[in-house]
């Protein structure tokens, strides 16, 4: 794209129409592959978050922090598989661990020698964990955590937050989504301490669990206020409620997750994404009293099955990831890089007077087309979503691969020069689109 040839005084609608047209013209092979996929998958899609109009890119490969699409375009991958791709696309230690696992046998039909070591590494990193069990995804981990809370308390109600995402079967907009498991949900507003306290006062004796992300991920990298999390901890203690921190994404934001940052320990923690070294992975854990119900040596134990819970590829990749690659020092450095990048991006937006702000913590961030940072999912949705779509398409033209919802998750392969490239791309965008971003042209 030659940005100097793009008219500056255009409407959002016409700018977006032009961007979509350029996207279609640039990506005929992705378009063809999408049409073929629609013959065997609804909408050509089997993972909803990846779909967008007019069609999604077909990614044919990746190396380091770069991905290449089916039409041969190279992008710097700032998305990092929605936080799961922390180690990039070709880490040699992860590759060696997986090949070594394959050489020893793929499906071992029993306890393997790696899983207890991996469990030790996970428990050592997350302050609230005394015992842990593995699953195949963060979705499964959250389902098991909520089930554990219901079993422990004998209650059925679950307090969740609007915009919270805890997997495909525990997702929330203004209300629970249609595919959610049938718990009795109560909905509160994120970072609204007074409103949440009122709900707990009214329903507290019937609530089994409070499930919360210490920073909302899918709804826009919106951090929780420390006082808000403190209220949840105190109210859970007072009312006998199990407090669940969903740290599937946020555990990467410090050596011990955001619970370590805030000094607030939940009763149960759920994990996933990057911890399996890029393999399918989830985990839930907490104190011995809660987790011992899954001890099969007990006569009253509860079963927890899953053919691939301890699969040798995830166990091997995860062990290397947590003990050799994402050490506490590396975690601190990556998140410091992310904090610096986010501040630089926000400085560019302030310099140009753009109604654009990047929120987040450390290596996770999201762009919002608003004058001030949103504090909950409702405020995030009030921002201009058509500008976010325009931003996505024009970032692709600048070689920037991010989520359609403008989310960024840095991998360990991202270098300072890549951060410079993203800052320059955003600066070019806000300079070019300044009339749209200041609200003067509609």
β-pair partners for 132: 285
DSSP class per residue in 218-276: TTT-EEPPHHHHHHHHHHHHHHTPEEEEE-TTGGGGSTTHHHHHHT---SEEEEEGGGG
The radius of gyration of the chain's CA atoms, rounded to the nearest angstrom, is 22
Q: The whole model's pTM is what?
A: 0.96
Task: Give, for 282, the enclosing helix (H) or strand (E).
Answer: strand 282-286
Longest dimension (CA), the chain: 74
| CATH number belonging to domain 3-77+329-437 | 3.90.1150.10
Residue-level pLDDT at 4: 41
Which residue in 434, 145, 124 sits closest to 283, CA to CA?
Answer: 145
pLDDT value for 392: 98
Helices marked H in 52-186: 92-104, 115-125, 138-153
Instruction: State the pLDDT at residue 387.
Output: 96
Cα 19 to its chain centre, rounded Å, is 27
Q: Give the C-alpha separation, 11 to 290, whole Å.
A: 56
For 350-364, b where at least 16 C-beta lie within 10 A, e where not — what string?
Answer: eebebbbbbbbbbbb
pLDDT at 272 over 90: yes
What residue has token string 């041969």?
72
Asked if 117 and 322 count as a contact pair (C-beta separation under 8 A), the reply is no
Tokens of 434: 């300044």
- CA distances for 299 relative to 9, 11, 154, 296, 302, angstroms: 73, 68, 19, 7, 9
Bridge pairing between strands 207-212 and 215-216: unpaired
What pLDDT was estimated at residue 441?
A: 35
Nearest in space to 221 (alpha carbons), one of 171, 138, 259, 165: 165
pLDDT at 442: 28
Confidence of residue 440 (pLDDT cuts 50, 70, 90): very low
Give, in degrees to the nearest 5, the angle at Cα 217 between 169 and 308.
50
The pLDDT tens digits of the residues spanning 229-250 come to 999 999 999 999 999 999 999 9
Contact status, residue 156 vs residue 206, Cβ threshold 8 Å: yes
For residues 436 and 442, what is the distance between their CA atoms, to the nearest angstrom? 7
What was the pLDDT predicted at 438?
Answer: 81
Is the pLDDT at 9 greater than 60, yes or no? no
According to DSSP, residue 215 is labeled E
Q: Is the CB of residue 317 less than 8 Å from the CB of residue 274?
A: no
In the predicted structure, residue 427 carries a pLDDT above the cut 70? yes
Mind listing the pLDDT tens digit for each residue in 366-385?
999 999 999 999 999 999 89
pLDDT tens column, 337-356: 999 999 999 999 999 999 99
Residue with tokens 């203004």: 174
> Quick one: CA dihedral 163, 164, 165, 170, positive or negative?
negative
For residue 133, CA distances in Å to 126, 144, 306, 349 come to 13, 10, 11, 44
Residues of each domain in the chain carrying CATH 3.90.1150.10: 3-77+329-437
What's the mean pLDDT when you consider all of the chain?
96
Tokens of 292: 């011992």
**Is 194 exposed, middle or buried, given 0-12, 13-18 or 19+ CB atoms closer than 10 A?**
exposed
Please report which helix (H) or strand (E) contains residue 288, including its range.
helix 288-291
Per-residue tokens: 295: 């001890």
Average pLDDT over residues 255-272: 98
Distance CA 158, CA 184 (A): 6
Do residues 105 and 429 touch, judged by C-beta distance below 8 A? no
Q: Which architecture does CATH list for 92-325?
A: 3-Layer(aba) Sandwich (3.40)
Q: Does residue 6 carry a pLDDT above 70?
A: no
Indicate where the chain has its CATH 3.40.640.10 domain(s): 92-325
């Amino acid at each position: 794209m030659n940005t100097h040839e793009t008219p500056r005084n255009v409407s959002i609608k016409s700018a977006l129409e032009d961007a979509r047209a350029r996207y279609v013209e640039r990506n005929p092979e992705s378009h063809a592959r999408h049409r073929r996929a629609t013959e065997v998958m609804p909408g050509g899609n089997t993972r909803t978050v990846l779909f967008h109009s007019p069609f999604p890119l077909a990614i044919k490969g990746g190396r380091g922090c770069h991905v290449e699409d089916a039409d041969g375009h190279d992008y710097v991958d700032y998305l990092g598989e929605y936080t799961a791709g922390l180690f990039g696309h070709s880490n040699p230690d992860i590759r060696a661990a997986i090949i070594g696992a394959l050489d020893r046998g793929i499906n071992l039909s029993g306890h393997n020698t790696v899983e207890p070591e991996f469990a030790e590494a996970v428990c050592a990193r997350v302050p609230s964990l005394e015992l842990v069990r593995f699953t195949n995804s963060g979705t499964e981990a959250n389902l098991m955590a909520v089930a554990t809370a219901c079993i422990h308390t004998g209650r059925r109600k679950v307090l969740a937050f609007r915009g919270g995402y805890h997997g495909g079967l525990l997702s929330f907009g203004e209300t629970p989504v249609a595919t959610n498991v049938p718990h009795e949900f109560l909905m509160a507003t994120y970072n609204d301490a007074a409103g949440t306290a009122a709900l707990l006062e009214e329903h507290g004796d019937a609530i089994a669990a409070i499930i919360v992300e210490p920073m909302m991920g899918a709804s826009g990298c919106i951090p929780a206020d420390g006082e808000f999390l403190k209220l949840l901890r105190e109210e859970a203690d007072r009312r006998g409620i199990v407090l669940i921190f969903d740290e599937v994404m946020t555990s990467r934001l410090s050596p011990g997750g955001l619970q370590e940052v805030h000094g607030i320990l939940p009763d149960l923690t759920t994990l996933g994404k990057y911890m399996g070294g890029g393999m399918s992975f989830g985990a839930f854990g907490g104190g011995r009293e809660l987790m011992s119900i899954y001890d099969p040596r007990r006569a009253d134990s509860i079963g927890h099955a899953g053919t691939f819970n301890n699969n040798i590829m995830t166990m091997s990749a995860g062990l290397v990831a947590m003990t050799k690659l994402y050490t506490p020092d590396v975690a601190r450095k990556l998140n410091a890089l992310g904090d610096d990048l986010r501040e630089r991006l926000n400085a560019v937006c302030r310099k140009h007077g753009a109604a654009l702000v990047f929120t987040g913590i450390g290596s996770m961030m999201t762009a919002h087309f608003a004058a001030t940072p949103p504090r909950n999912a409702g405020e995030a949705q009030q921002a201009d979503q058509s500008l976010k779509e325009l931003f996505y398409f024009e970032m692709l033209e600048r070689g920037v691969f991010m989520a359609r919802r403008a989310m960024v998750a840095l991998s360990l392969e991202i270098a300072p020069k890549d951060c410079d490239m993203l800052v320059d791309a955003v600066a070019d965008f806000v300079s070019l689109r300044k009339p749209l971003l200041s609200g003067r042209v509609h």
